[in-house]
């Protein structure tokens, strides 16, 4: 229950933060363009490529930054355009509703038990299990396993969540245990969130190359357990991880005009599970959105074959699809 409101807070934060980031990126681009003239392209490329650093940690298995798939025997590759539903919370704390007819469900790893997952699968559905891989959440039952030194700044606007040091062997050990839970519960795949701390004030000096290493590591850990995996947001690192991903989950690319970036998944024959939140931060009701809101969510450039859902930020059962 705490999680419902907090999740709402996090999404809300995420939206505001994105606006901020956009402003910053625009400023940086302007500064580079003005200051360096021709150097713009080179400057941006270098910042993405600069090191492959440090991340071979004690728990090992720091996957190399490679575009070679970590495991060519991935069990489940969903098709482009597959309809999906994401429901992290029920409205009232009871079991999630399975009433929406969609062949893929993305549900919270911790808040749903094995029975809920196998019931979905008996209905012919695949189940993706959501967890936060890049933030500490103080209400989870493994919260005590994190070291204080693993934690960075609070996720702004959402007390109880802190950015994590994704190079920490301890963090990685905890994530391996979470992947083991996903296996034990019978999930078909996982949706590891918050891998883009580098794009936020995180207090840990997280870098893009650390995120690339982490996401590729999560992929190899998932694949070796028979789980499929997708990239959550993280548009800047797509090229360095896409070969190891079976899909991506994107929030608000239509709102922020970023759908072109994520369309590289479609070109690679991998679905883009795309969420828009036209109601904004604080409205979580069962009402339809307007025709023009549907149009904005569903007709963004390059989003033609995306698997788009229009959702409340609370990620409850309510959903609208593009017609």
Tell me how far apart the alpha carbons of residues 157 and 161 are, in angstroms, rounded to a whole number: 9
Q: Closest approach of Cβ 300 to ligand NAG, in Å? A: 6
Judged by beta carbon, residue 37 or residue 80, the one nearer ligand NAG is 80
Least Å from the CB of residue 202 to ligand NAG: 9
Of 34 and 212, the one with the shorter C-beta distance to ligand NAG is: 212
Please identify, using beta-carbon distances, which residue of 21 and 305 lies nearer to ligand NAG: 305
Q: Can you tell me the distance from the alpha carbon of 311 to that of 155, in angstroms, rounded to the nearest whole number?
A: 22
CB closer to ligand NAG out of 103 and 169: 169
The residue among 68 and 291 lying less far from ligand NAG, judged by its C-beta, is 68
Give the residue closest to ligand NAG by C-beta: 304
Using an 8 Å Cβ cutoff, are 236 and 251 in contact?
A: no
Got the DSSP string for 192-243? EE---GGGS--SS---HHHHHHHHHHHHHHHHHTT-EEEEES-GGGHHHHGG
Cα separation, 229 vs 172, in Å, equals: 16
Nearer to ligand NAG, 37 or 102 (CB): 102
Least separation, in Å, of the C-beta of 254 and ligand NAG?
Answer: 8
Neighbours of 283 (CB within 10 A): 13
Strand order in the sheet with 104-108: 84-86, 104-108, 126-132, 189-193, 228-232, 247-251, 272-276, 307-311, 319-321
Contact yes or no for 247/256 (Cβ under 8 A): no
The CB-of-266 to ligand NAG minimum distance in angstroms stands at 7
Q: Which residue has the tokens 């959702």?
A: 311
Element (H, E) at 244: none
Contact partners, residue 13, CB within 8 Å, separation at least 6: 155, 156, 157, 158
Closer of 34 and 199 to ligand NAG (Cβ): 199
Beta bridge mates, 311: 319
Closest distance of CB 144 from ligand NAG, Å: 19
Find the shortest distance in angstroms from Cβ 74 to ligand NAG. 7
Interface ranges with ligand NAG (CB under 6 A) = 48-49, 52, 57, 65, 67, 71, 73, 75, 91-92, 95, 113, 115-116, 149, 165, 167-169, 204-205, 209, 212, 223-224, 226, 239-240, 257, 285-286, 301, 304-305, 317
Nearest distance from residue 34's CB to ligand NAG, in Å? 24
């Amino acid at each position: 229950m705490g999680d419902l409101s907090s999740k709402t807070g996090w999404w809300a934060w995420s939206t505001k933060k994105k606006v901020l980031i956009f402003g910053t990126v625009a400023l940086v681009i302007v500064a580079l363009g003005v200051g360096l003239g021709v150097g713009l392209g080179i400057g941006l490329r270098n910042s993405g490529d600069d090191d492959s650093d440090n991340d071979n940690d004690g728990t090992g298995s720091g996957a190399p930054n490679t575009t070679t798939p970590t495991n060519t025997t991935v069990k489940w590759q969903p098709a482009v355009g597959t309809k999906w539903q994401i429901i992290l919370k029920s409205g009232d704390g009871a079991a999630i509703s399975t009433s929406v007819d969609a062949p893929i469900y993305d549900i919270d790893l911790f808040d749903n038990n094995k029975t809920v997952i196998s019931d979905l699968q008996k209905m012919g559905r695949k189940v993706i299990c959501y967890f936060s891989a890049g933030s500490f959440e103080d209400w989870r039952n493994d919260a005590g396993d994190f070291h204080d030194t693993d934690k960075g700044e609070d996720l702004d606007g959402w007390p109880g969540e802190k950015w994590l040091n994704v190079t920490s062997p301890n963090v990685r050990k905890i994530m391996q245990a979470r992947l083991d839970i996903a296996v034990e519960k019978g999930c078909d795949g996982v949706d590891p969130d918050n891998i883009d701390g580098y794009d936020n004030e995180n207090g840990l000096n997280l870098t893009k190359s650390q995120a690339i290493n982490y996401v590729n590591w999560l992929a190899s850990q998932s694949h070796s357990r028979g789980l499929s995996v997708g990239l959550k947001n993280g548009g800047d690192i797509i090229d360095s991880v896409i070969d190891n991903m079976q899909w991506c989950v994107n929030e608000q690319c239509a709102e922020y005009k970023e759908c072109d970036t994520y369309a590289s998944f479609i070109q690679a024959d991998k679905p883009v599970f795309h969420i828009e939140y036209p109601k904004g931060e604080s409205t979580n009701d069962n009402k339809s959105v307007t025709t023009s809101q549907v149009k904005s969510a569903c007709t963004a450039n390059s989003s033609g074959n995306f698997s788009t859902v229009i959702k409340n930020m609370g990620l409850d059962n309510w959903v609208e699809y593009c017609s």
